[in-house]
Amino acid sequence: MSAGRFDRQIRFAPLGAAGQERLARARVLVVGCGALGGALAQSMARSGLGFVRIVDRDVVEESNLPRQVLFEPTDIGQPKAQVAARALERIGGPTRVEPHVRHLDAELLRELGTDVELILDGTDNLATRYLINDFAVERGRPWVYGGVVGSSGIVFPVVPQSGACLRCLFPDPPPPGALATCDSAGVLQPAVAAIAALQAGAALRLLGAEPGTLVGRASRLVELDVWTLESHAIEVPRDPQCPCCGQRSFAFLDADTTGDALSLCGRNTVQVRPQRSARARVDLASLHARLAGLALDLALQDGLLRFRLEGITCSVFPDGRALFEGTEDPVRARALYDRWLGS
Ligand SMILES: [Zn+2]
């Protein structure tokens, strides 16, 4: 590697030549390769990390192009992870990039997350974040939460053993449909860029700083809004009663996720159920309100919410189960479920 390439990083005293060498040996997993994940993968590769593994189940769509920095119009319809790996190779540098076009469940996380030092959250759904949190705490491995909706977002680095975890902050995920998603509330590119930058900065410090200098730091959550220019940070205390890092119960990692997206034979329909550990009653009225103006033929009747979107007819039941008519692809249905219902 040319020493000149990373000259400006080496001149940054908290990193220095030793820190750059640590980065050159570092291995990370980036989960999701859309808006946040693409920016994160690019930042890690440009910073000269040794190894970046990317996992994403989606293909590039036209509506991704305003925010997803690694994709161009000619990439539409191709798997995001593979397109991203090719884009990162064009940047050059010493980083080895390994793409995986797959849906991340507990089994795959164990496979892809074991030989990395840090996990970066570029997902669009809470179910996967709770899964990553369980895995990271179980293995004592840091991960960096990032979430964006509209013009604002949150960053929360989780360093097991020394700080709080996601479940210290939010012990249980909200029921599917309870929170706004980028599909219902929209999202601005600068919000994505800002949150990805803070996540990447936290990752570089965790991977590149001199060992021992980060011990004892309080867990900090940062929220910022690129529209109002408001930001604030809170210290998150570790909860000794936390089911995950306190009691070491890993319900999301242990959950049997097989069968939660099931193709119904011969009907061109897939049934998706919320992950077992996240099951709760869904507030169909608030989901109805959020989908208004987005979905077609939206109707809430007899305890069933139905709508059409992207060529799919979706029916949501109060227990969180949903049918997707118009596809036989369980991975696509699972992805639409996470996007539309915000599981
Ligand atoms: Zn915890």
* pLDDT tens by residue, 54-63: 999 888 989 8
153-162, 211-220, 231-240, 310-319, range with the lowest pLDDT: 211-220
Question: Ligand 1 centre from 141 Cα, in Å?
Answer: 13
What is the residue-averaged pLDDT of the chain? 89
Q: For the segment 69-103, what is each residue's pLDDT rounded down to a tens digit?
A: 999 999 988 889 999 999 999 999 999 999 998 88
State which residues have CB under 5 angstroms from ligand 1, the bound ion. Answer: 165, 167-168, 242, 244-245
d(Cα 151, Cα 188) in Å, to the nearest integer? 5
Looking at per-residue confidence, does 322 or 158 come out higher?
Answer: 158
d(Cα 75, Cα 267) in Å, to the nearest integer? 31
**pLDDT at residue 276, as a whole number:** 58
d(Cα 165, Cα 156) in Å, to the nearest integer? 9
Whether 245 is catalytic is no
The domain limits of the chain are: 3-252, 258-341
Q: How confident is the model at residue 185 (pLDDT cuts 50, 70, 90)?
A: confident
Q: Answer whether residue 263 shows pLDDT above 50.
A: yes
CATH architecture of 3-252: 3-Layer(aba) Sandwich (3.40)
Q: For the segment 186-231, what is each residue's pLDDT rounded down to a tens digit?
A: 899 999 999 999 999 999 999 999 887 766 567 899 999 999 999 9
Question: Ligand 1 centre from 161 Cα, in Å?
Answer: 10
**pLDDT at residue 208, as a whole number:** 95
Question: Ligand 1 centre from 237 Cα, in Å?
Answer: 9
Question: Ligand 1 centre from 253 Cα, in Å?
Answer: 14
**pLDDT at residue 89, as a whole number:** 95
List the CATH code of the domain at 258-341.
3.30.310.10
Question: Ligand 1 centre from 219 Cα, in Å?
Answer: 11
Q: How confident is the model at residue 2 (pLDDT cuts 50, 70, 90)?
A: low
Active-site choice (182, 242, 244, 245) = 182
Q: For the segment 4-51, what is each residue's pLDDT rounded down to a tens digit?
A: 999 999 999 999 999 999 999 999 999 999 999 999 999 999 999 999
Question: Ligand 1 centre from 88 Cα, in Å?
Answer: 34
pTM of the complete model:
0.81
Q: Answer whether residue 279 shows pLDDT above 60.
A: no
Question: Ligand 1 centre from 70 Cα, in Å?
Answer: 34
Question: Ligand 1 centre from 252 Cα, in Å?
Answer: 13
Average pLDDT over residues 140-157: 96
Q: Answer whether residue 258 shows pLDDT above 50.
A: no
**pLDDT at residue 99, as a whole number:** 96
**pLDDT at residue 308, as a whole number:** 94
